[in-house]
Structure 1
Amino acid sequence: MDVSLKSFHSKAVLTGIGFTALLAFLSFELAKLPGISNVGPLAVGILIAMVYRHFLGYPSTIHEGIQFSAKKLLRLAIILFGLKLDIHVIYQEGLPLLLKDIMVIPFSIGLMMLLARAFKADYSLSLLIGIGTGVCGASAIAAVSPILKVKEKDTALSVAIISVIGTIFAIGYTILRPLLPINIEAYGIWAGLSLHEIGHVALAGTPAGEAGLGMALLAKLGRVFLLVPLSLLLVWIMKKRSKESSTQQVVFPWFLLGFVAMSLFGSFVNGRLIQISANVLDGISTLTTFILTMAMVGLGLSVSVSDLRTRAFKPMVLLILTSLLLSLTTYLIL
């Protein structure tokens, strides 16, 4: 490759990254608007990218940069996401909740896959949505997608579906809260056990005050913690299948080690050996969400609107049914 071709390649990569950053910025601003704020920038980013592709086409000249955001930046965001997980809090106060969290994951995935088989829904989408429902929504889907080797458009569709449906359920929880015969701590646990993403849990838990929100986030953190053993289990399953069916090897998701390292750093190093201010941590959290939104834009550009009509309808309906049964089951075990 001569100098001119290298220069063109580098420019295409940087332009593609900048393009996803621009759409991510637009998504952040739109997500501040009333009503849209409940959906969050991740889902907004995917929807904007899908609309862009539908009306303007895929920007193939900057494909390399878009792929960089969709793959490399996605892994970086998952690593940084580890800072949100406080292992110390889970160990000190959340072990009984962790047992219930462990139950939620196989329940959600198993039920989603049973329904998918019964109604002949798309397997890949149903599996990703089931994992997102059981663990932590879009972040879980993004983390397991490289392990399962699913198509980028499947990842994007799954994130969009679970973000929108999860938001609807979170709003429904806030409406139901004053009508339920349980205290605010129990309500918080219920929200943390059953809602899809951390943002959804925060949305539903905030009206219950500090005590309710605290219990909601604690219950949710246990499910986030279980993302690591679930991912390792999926790696083992995929390696076993690859040996039985083909010579293709499953690459270990090394970015998960970064996720664990950041979790350990935030839980046991920060505040003991060094002290990072709350403002800096908030800034890192915002940066993490922004990078993840850039990745979602990159993924969203791979989705055509026809995919929503032909492949996503059944998984979306089954997600609603699975979420309803999960909400009922976790309410009964409080």
Structure 2
Amino acid sequence: MSLENQNMQANPQETDDKGDPPSKQRWKWIAGVSFTFFIALLGLLLALIPGFAYVGQLACAIIIAIIYRQIFGYPESLRAGVTFSSKKLLRLAIILYGLRLNINIVLSDGLGLLLRDAFVILFAIFLMIWLAKVFKANSTISLLLGVGTGVCGAAAIAAVAPIIKAKDEDTAIGVGIIALMGTVFSIVYTIVRPILPISAVDYGTWSGISLHELAHVALAAAPAGQDALAIALLAKLGRVFLLIPLCFILIYIMKSKSKNSKQASTQIAFPWFLIGFIVLSILGTYVFGHSIPVSDGVFNSIYTLTTWLLTAAMVGLGLSVSFSDLRTKAMKPLIAMTITSAVLSVFAYLIV
């Protein structure tokens, strides 16, 4: 055995698989995280261009990340930092997202909406699963899209993905599709609003219980006035609230499948970040701004940070997507989700 190999065995923590010392690995990690934030910045700049504003920073960043991957390949030297963004920063973003959920408002003013929200979520998930079987679409992406359509878009997909052990590329594809379809449908809503025989408040309710992202709900409901926007956001908050029990239901289902499976590797780890989401929801509802004074400026800064963290995380996921994945995995789920979104809009309109 050579002296070099003896030293490597004596100090296993000083090198990684590629033989880089810890200091070099640290700089690669920093460079990888910085790279995801740089593409997130490019996504923001792209979203400022007329037309792309409807798509949003998150979707624009994913598009840039996917294009980068196809042209330059995956940045292997930055993998540690990119993976950190797609895993750890994603969980942190979901935890901070809990501050957006005001539990008190949902429970005191939106119980009727909450019931309709529950019907919408179940309708979207089961219809998506059924259509996925009909079209023989990728089951994981289809489930993610069903959850994203029924609950709250990219945030719901990001929360559920680790529970169902979705691959990074499947998660990124799901987020990309949900952003695209949500944008299309929110624009369609604003176009058809003047010809619909419903009040502004009912239109806001319809938007809140059927559109995908919080931003999509705001985009569609704002033209109908402040009352419509307020009820739309309340309805949307109810769907975000229901993400909590939905995650626990999925954990139970996955653990049951794990017990029935002969493969021990299918055991499901508990998503502790979900506890953080719940804790911050409670603190944001009953503590911050009440027992502990917190200004709107602080909340807005946290919301901005959450958006940046989520965007950087989605960049990390987008770098995992290849065009071959899109061709083989995305088309059938996209068709199924288009049908699901359209049918869901009609269903939601009927129950308003």
* Misfit runs of 4+, over 4 Å: none
The alpha-carbon deviation at position 2 of structure 1 amounts to 2.6
Q: Which segments of 5 or more consecutive residues in structure 1 lack a partner in the other structure?
A: none
Q: Which amino acid aligns with 1:110?
A: F
Task: Identify the residue that residue 247 of structure 1 maps to in structure 2.
Answer: 264
* Cα deviation digits, residues 94-147 of structure 1 (max 9, x gap): 001000001011100100111110111111111110110010000000001010
* Cα deviation digits, residues 261-294 of structure 1 (max 9, x gap): 1111111112210111111111110110000000
Task: Identify the residue that residue 112 of structure 2 maps to in structure 1.
Answer: 96
Map 1:200-215 → 2, pairs under 5 A: 200-215=216-231
Q: Which amino acid aligns with 1:247?
A: A
Equivalent position to 1:298, from 316, 320, 340: 316
Task: Identify the residue that residue 170 of structure 2 maps to in structure 1.
Answer: 154
The alpha-carbon deviation at position 31 of structure 1 amounts to 1.2
For the residues of structure 2 that align with 1:327 and 1:111, how far apart are their CA atoms? 13
Task: Identify the residue that residue 345 of structure 2 maps to in structure 1.
Answer: 327
Task: Identify the residue that residue 308 of structure 1 maps to in structure 2.
Answer: 326
Map 1:171-250 → 2, pairs under 5 A: 171-245=187-261, 246-248=263-265, 249-250=267-268
- Count of residue pairs the alignment pairs up: 334
8 A Cα contact 2:289 2:295, kept in partner: no
Instruction: Give the RMSD, CA atoms, in angstroms.
Output: 0.9
* Cα deviation digits, residues 281-322 of structure 1 (max 9, x gap): 111101100000000000000000121122101111111110
The alpha-carbon deviation at position 25 of structure 1 amounts to 1.0
Task: Identify the residue that residue 7 of structure 2 maps to in structure 1.
Answer: none
Q: TM-score, with normalisation over the residues of structure 1?
A: 0.98
The alpha-carbon deviation at position 12 of structure 1 amounts to 1.2
- Residue 32, structure 1, aligned to residue 44, structure 2: no
Map 1:27-66 → 2, pairs under 5 A: 27-66=43-82
For the residues of structure 2 that align with 1:125 and 1:255, how far apart are their CA atoms? 22
For the residues of structure 2 that align with 1:250 and 1:113, how far apart are their CA atoms? 21
Q: Which segments of 5 or more consecutive residues in structure 2 lack a partner in the other structure?
A: 1-12
Map 1:132-143 → 2, pairs under 5 A: 132-143=148-159
Q: Which amino acid aligns with 2:311?
A: T
8 A Cα contact 2:118 2:242, kept in partner: yes
Q: Which amino acid aligns with 1:121?
A: A
The alpha-carbon deviation at position 77 of structure 1 amounts to 0.1
* Cα deviation digits, residues 49-106 of structure 1 (max 9, x gap): 0000101111101101000000000000000000100111111110010000010111
Task: Identify the residue that residue 257 of structure 1 maps to in structure 2.
Answer: 275
Q: Which amino acid aligns with 2:78?
A: I
Q: TM-score, with normalisation over the residues of structure 2?
A: 0.93
